[in-house]
Structure 1
Amino acid sequence: MNNAKMLRATKYVGAIILFAGITMFIYGFFVSDYSYITGIGIGTVMGAVFIFLMGIFFVATEEMNDRRKKKEN
């Protein structure tokens, strides 16, 4: 159950940050005259993907550790 909570939290946090990054990118690319907002949006999207992948990695690692412990007993 703990893995499901962590995966759900990672999914929601990643989605919120991804939405914010896409919004900043679109605003910087199409609306604003300042190009640094586009770069911040790209960086935010990359950060959201990194957070999501790290969350999946932690859940998978914990699941493998739990399976190993059950196998030893």
Structure 2
Amino acid sequence: MGAKAKLLNAVKYIGSFLLVVGSIVFSFGFFGSGSGVLTAIGIGTVMGAVFIFLMGVFFVITEELLGKIDHREKMTN
């Protein structure tokens, strides 16, 4: 398994774990206890999970594009 696939798997699992935890905290804060603090923590955790996932995908795409550009330069020389 390549480094890109390992990074994507790690980002996928970490992002989904944080998304589930954030959703549970948000649901408990919004519906269960009515606490604004728990609701805000849940929203922040969900936003953090999305941010981590998007940054991981961005890193993999950037690495892939740089590899293609490097490969093209080697082919032309």
Report the Cα offset of residue 33 of structure 1.
Answer: 3.4
Report the Cα offset of residue 35 of structure 1.
Answer: 1.4
State the alpha-carbon separation in 1 of the partners of residues 72 and 65 from structure 2.
11
Aligned-pair identity in percent equals 52
TM-score (norm 1): 0.96
Long gaps (5+) in structure 2: none
Counterpart position of 2:27: 26
State the alpha-carbon separation in 1 of the partners of residues 15 and 34 from structure 2.
28
Residue correspondences, number: 73
Superposition pairs of residues 53-64 of structure 1, within 5 angstroms: 53-64=54-65
State the alpha-carbon separation in 1 of the partners of residues 27 and 16 from structure 2.
16
- The higher relative CO (CA closer than 8 Å, separation ≥ 6) is in 1
Counterpart position of 2:39: 38
State the alpha-carbon separation in 1 of the partners of residues 17 and 8 from structure 2.
14
Report the Cα offset of residue 3 of structure 1.
Answer: 0.7
| RMSD (Å) for aligned C-alpha atoms | 0.7
Long gaps (5+) in structure 1: none
Q: Which 4+ runs in 1 deviate beyond 4 A?
A: none
Report the Cα offset of residue 72 of structure 1.
Answer: 1.0
Bigger radius of gyration: 2
Q: Deviations over 1:41-70 (max 9, x none)?
A: 001000000000000000000000111111
